[in-house]
Amino acid sequence: MAEDLLKSIEQLSRERGISPDIFYSAIEEALLTVADKYFDHKAEVKVEINRERGTINAYTEKLVINDNPQDASEISWKDALKHDSKAKLGDEIKIFLPGETLGRVAAQTARNIIMDKVQKAEQQTIYSKYVQLTDTLISGEVRRIENNSVIAALEIGEAIIPEKELSPKDEYKKGDIIRFYVKRVFPEGRGPLVLGSRYLNNFVEKLIEKEVPEVSEGIVKIFSVSREPGFKTKVAVYSTDKSIDPVGAVVGMNGNRVLSITKELQGERVDVIAWNESPERFISSALTPAEVTLVSIVNEPARMAEATVTDSTLSAAIGKKGINIKLASKLTKWNIQLTNRMELRSKVDQKKL
């Protein structure tokens, strides 16, 4: 039994990436627990595990005396002969935990202790590996869907991307590869320890870093991101090198880079905008695809601005369900109010009257 158990340990160690010492420690703890019940509670129990020979022994040592043992470290000569037929007065003999009791240990007490130690060791391994990947993108294979949350298999352990951390357009099934942002890694707990997100702005930022070398190298910087997951994202960028066009770098030749990002976002539109120190110019660019004719700063301390757009692009400036103006305001951090030429002309006419 012991030899088979030790072989199983080596196999489990390889499969789970856990040091064999964890398993041996668990077996030793289990044997000490059971041996304490088998022997006198005050007896000093020792455990020997010979990994090369595949043997496991638990025993206590007792001094052979003539009669009337005074404590757990002594045994009468008559009782000693039951364990060692050659025992003599003054000898120290080893009294072993019976083999059948060792069998019950493996089947009962050891199982619980081993599984507990293995689980803790696995959790520590997972935490150590993935905590350093927090705030990065990783991928996993979808293992199952639970309560609309995606459970993905990682190199070791699992990650969970809860329903609230998925974009409305995200649809995954078992076997799919899912890429996500590592939001947090838990040191312990039930279920997956890695918490992922495809909903946060950080997810888009990291996608751009992966897709655009100029961004990952720090030549092009992301100033801000505003997003309505599943619908639209606006990204403001600028360049630290005057010879590099920041918008062109992110969009890529023939739009290949931004198309790759859009594909990962399941078709979500991505507007790439050049950041400008001038609030008026920045606001004007942020309202794309609208045609802006004038931007006025209404209240600088309150960060309120008014943008005038052409009559034909007013609806584009607002966007479906007001998404475009909402994202432009978040991107620029200005409260933008819209007006069109018709309204502007009306105000001018009223002043003339």
Please report where in the chains the tokens 């947090």 appear, as a residue: 184
**Mean per-residue pLDDT pooled into runs of 10, the chain (353 residues):** 66 75 79 73 77 77 84 83 86 79 60 77 89 97 96 94 96 96 92 94 97 96 97 97 96 95 96 96 96 93 94 93 96 94 48 32
Quote the mean pLDDT of the chain. 87
| Rg of the chain (C-alpha set) | 35
Report the residue count for the chain: 353
Give the per-residue pLDDT at 190: 81
Superfamily for domain range 134-197: Nucleic acid-binding proteins (2.40.50.140)
Parts of the chain belonging to CATH 3.30.1480.10: 2-126
N-term to C-term CA, the chain: 104
- The closest of 346, 207, 325, 337 to 265, measured between CA atoms, is 207
* Distance of alpha carbon 348 from alpha carbon 42, whole angstroms: 100
Which position has the token pair 């499969």? 15
For the domain covering 2-126, report its CATH number.
Answer: 3.30.1480.10
CB-based burial of residue 148 (10 Å sphere; 0-12 exposed, 13-18 middle, 19+ buried)?
exposed
Every domain of the chain with CATH number 3.30.300.20 lies at 200-275, 277-353
Q: What stretch(es) of the chain map to CATH 2.40.50.140? A: 134-197
Homologous superfamily in CATH for domain 200-275? K homology (KH) domain (3.30.300.20)
What is the per-residue pLDDT for 342? Answer: 53
Render pLDDT for 137-183 as a digit per residue (tens, 0 to 9): 999 999 999 999 999 999 988 999 999 999 999 999 999 999 999 99
Residue 201's pLDDT is 97
CATH superfamily of the 277-353 domain: K homology (KH) domain (3.30.300.20)
